[in-house]
Structure 1
Amino acid sequence: MKTLFCICILLVATGLYSQQFIKDTSFSTSNFVPLSFHIVDSSLVYGHDWDGFFNETFVYKRNYSGIWTRLSTLGIDGRTINVWGVDSSKLWLASQTKLYYTSNSGANWEDRLTVPSGGYINGLMFSEENPNIGYFLCDPPSNSGHRAIIYFTRDAGESWDTVSIYIGPNHLGLQDAGCIANNDFVYFGLTGNLWPNLTFLPRMIYTTNGGNNWSIITIPATELNVLKTSFKSTGKTGLISLYSDSSKIYKTTNSGENWTKMATFANGTVNLEWVGNSDIWYANFDTIVYKTSNGGMNWTKFLGTEEYDTFYDIKFKRSGNRYIGYFMVFNLKSLKYEIIRYSDTITTTNISNISSVIPSGYELKQNYPNPFNPETNIEFSLPKNGNIELLIYNNLGKEIYKISEYKQAGKYNFKFKAENLSSGVYFYRLITENFSSTKRMLFIK
């Protein structure tokens, strides 16, 4: 087992990284509730803050010149939950009971929606794939019979429809625990609960058909609360963070039918963020941010110093082979909340394009040479753009290598090197949205 573990570590790297940290010196606050972010694009970012002592909401915008400015929040009432930016002038703000909207950078706010008495909004989100689609989960209102309400829009918030779902007497939603993977797959994390001598396991509400039907998944874990759901854009593969007396990360590759525990951390709440079209996730546990580059199999310390006490919100946005991240942290020296801006470039070196001529169909060719020692070529064809996964398994069915990328239509070659593996039979598999194929190869030293 130790040998196989070492082999996996050597094989999982799929890219080279060029990274940079920048402290946004134009922003700092000593308010009581830390900021949450929404990244519109590489330069436009919104954030929100709520001062519990004065019951006052703050909304900030980082414009294209890199300066954070505070927007007017006149007319906003109650504790705010999160902000969602549309463009440089339009944004949404969710409070515990209302949705607000502005089309002029906060000069005027419209009260768009109020949930029933006793209900609470757990965070507003819109689809990255189709910004007209949006959702939020409302905790069961008074006298609702423990039925939560899912609000959804198909016209960018001009109108909202609802569907109710029974979640039981001991479950509630959690702030910012939802995830829109794509137009079909949507997830909401729920709390568990301890009742006298009974444990209610953590659950998720989910749909796989764009909200036409909703179901509940029970996660086989001892932790009570699903703090964060973070799924790939394919919809089926994702990580969730759970917390009660310890923090754990679980993974599913089939929309929650099965779960595998990927990591355990001693304490601290967990925020998970996926970097689009990759196997990269970030997770913060109080004073430390961790990173995985292989879908959760291995985690390494990414950021954490004695200067910073607690990392709160983290958000990422990818464009092409580059992505940016924002970290909200409390500085022990200045006694203020600060923002760290992070940028990274992923340069994939595993797969090379051998022809830009668009093929007529999908194809996974037999590797050559075969048998091979120590490397072989695997060619495949894609008739259209899309996400692909290329996986390699040993003869016991254990995954030992995985690439998950977005590719343009064309023909590609992947050079697989196996000098650190044992001789034997291996299998390689190509998966796209509309195609799947598996072939056998033989490695002989």
Structure 2
Amino acid sequence: MQKLFISQKIILISVFSVLTFNFCNCQWIISSNGFGNNNFVYSLLPVNNSIFMGSTGVYISTNNGNYWSQTTFDSLSVSALALKENTIFACTYTNGVHYSTNYGSTWLQTQSSFSDIWSLTVSGNNIIAGTTTGLYLTSNNGQNWNQNALTNIVINTLISDGNIVFAGTYYNGVYKSTNYGFNWVQTSLNNQTVWSFAINGSNLYAGTRYNGIFLSTNNGTDWIQTGMNNQTVLSIALYGANILAGTYQNGVFYSTNNGISWNQKNDGFSTTPSINSLLIFNNFIFAGTQGQSIWKRLISDFVTVQNVSQDLPGNYLLKQNYPNPFNPNTNIGYNIKQNSEIKIVIYDLLGKEISIPVNEKQSPGEYEFNFDGSALNSGIYFYSLYVNGKLIENKRMVLLK
């Protein structure tokens, strides 16, 4: 595992999540109950407290993937899913775009006569579909579709961020629209096959065929290769500076330093799979595969800890976070004087448990982790240090957005 050395401390990279106590498998476990062990998963979509899955038809799980139920859309291969307000759209390889206004109970087909649809995204009032013959766009929820751009270019993947939309193509790189998908220009990444995208703030990641992941920090004007040479990246998931990459025939890679270095994380898979789709949802990372169903593991399992301090603390101590107030990230440190079961719990003002970023046995040392509050509302929060089940200390922190 790649270590991060920053000053003379233990540095722990974590992620905001609400952890479930009765799930502690530190490896990938199959999550196929109700779905089957040998099916393809093409797409995953979070909707409120549920996950929708595109496979042969559309499945839904309301309990973090413990069980999947097939919706009435049950016969066509669903290549991509998208959500616009309260309507779920599902595109197919052979029979256009379908939609549901009641969370999958019933489905109707839009007025889409085109086929070979590989990708779907929503930008403003527009729904954009990527096909093997270019882009189609509707501004009225599928009552009418127009082929508006990139004719005869294969569109593998789409992603939107407000009015900006990116299209990843087959051998033609990345195209960009700044007006909700109406007009397009080719970016400087113009000679790659792009299978996947992810956006985090100003960072745009593009997963390519055979050439790993490229990164742009200026909306696609310039690109740098982050590594993973010779890998085909079919899916990308992000949390903070941490990147997870689903590859063709090589499972899952991850980076805790924004792509500078990479490691594989395939323990638990029966055989190393191809990962079509990755989704971070609640406290889990889900991996949809090609013919090996769907798997999951705790996102907290992607934690890197390294003790580089030569001084052993003389007592247990919970430090004040910094910066404080913060938006949206802050650092929380603590000291451990002997081998102990350590738990850090984040609470809201009413005492509701929000996150458990640390819950493991640790050796003596000085620790620090980065807490991401981007999913929280502004307000006062508390964090507590527990040692061997006993409360040691509480601190207060303020999130201002």
- Measured against the shorter chain, the TM-score band is 0.5 to 0.7
Q: What value does the CA root-mean-square deviation take over the aligned residues?
A: 4.2
The number of residues matched between the two structures is: 308
Which residue of structure 1 aligns with residue 243 of structure 2? 281
**Larger RCO: 1 or 2 (CA < 8 Å, sep 6+):** 2
Instruction: Say yes or no: does 1:29 pair with 2:19.
Output: no
Q: 1:123 aligns with which of 106, 119, 123?
A: 119
What secondary structure, in the 3-state scheme, does the structure 2 residue paired with 1:113 have? coil
Q: 1:229 aligns with which of 192, 197, 211?
A: 197
Shift of 1:187: 0.7
1:325 is aligned to 2:285: yes
Q: Is the 8 A contact 1:45 1:85 kept in 2?
A: no
Change (3 A) 1:353 1:165: same
* Percent of aligned positions that are identical: 12
Residue 293 of structure 2 aligns to a residue in which SS? strand
- Residue 328 of structure 1: CA displacement? 2.4
Q: CA deviation at 1:299?
A: 1.3
Change (3 A) 1:307 1:162: same
Instruction: Deviation per CA, 1:44-66: give whole Å up to 9, x if none.
Output: 1111223xxxxxxx321112484
Letter in 1 for 2:99: Y
Residue number in structure 1 paired with 2:214: 250
Among 90, 95, 102, the residue aligned to 2:92: 95
Deviations 1:59-85 (A, max 9, x none): 2111248421112236x6x64322346
Match of 1:183 among 158, 162, 182: 162
1:304-323 Cα deviation digits (max 9, x unpaired): 456223132332246xxx65
Residue 11 of structure 2 corresponds to residue 47 of structure 1: no
Paired position in structure 1 for 2:62: 63
In structure 2, how many angstroms separate the alpha carbons of the residues matched to 1:11 and 1:111?
Answer: 57
Change (3 A) 1:71 1:9: farther
* Equivalent-residue separation in structure 2 for 1:280 and 1:326 (angstroms): 16
**Aligned partner of 2:263 among 280, 300, 307:** 300
User: Is 2:180 the partner of 1:210?
Assistant: yes
How far is the alpha carbon of 1:28 from its aligned partner? 4.1
Are 2:151 and 1:172 aligned?
Answer: no
Q: TM-score with structure 2 length normalisation? A: 0.62
Secondary structure in 2 matching 1:308? coil
Is 1:135 aligned to residue 128 of structure 2? yes
Q: Which has the larger radius of gyration?
A: 1
Question: Which of the pair is proportionally richer in strand?
Answer: 1
Once the two structures are TM-superposed, the CA of residue 256 in structure 1 deviates from its matched residue by 1.8
* Distance in 1 separating the partners of 2:128 and 2:10: 35
In structure 2, C-alpha distance between the alignment counterparts of 1:11 and 1:216, rounded to whole Å: 45
When normalised by structure 1's length, the TM-score is 0.57
8 Å CA contact 2:284, 2:296 repeated in 1: yes
Cα distance between partner residues in 1 of 2:178 and 2:98:
28
Is residue 244–residue 252 contact of structure 2 (8 Å, CA) maintained in 1?
yes
Asked if the contact 2:41/2:288 (under 8 Å) is kept, the reply is yes
Distance 1:34 1:355 in 2: 42
How far residue 24 of structure 1 moved from its aligned partner, in angstroms, is 2.2
What SS class does the counterpart of residue 114 from structure 1 fall into? coil
Please give the alpha-carbon distance, in whole angstroms, between the structure 1 residues aligned to 2:169 and 2:179.
20
Given that residues 188 and 223 in structure 2 are in contact (C-alpha distance below 8 angstroms), is that contact kept between their aligned partners in structure 1?
no
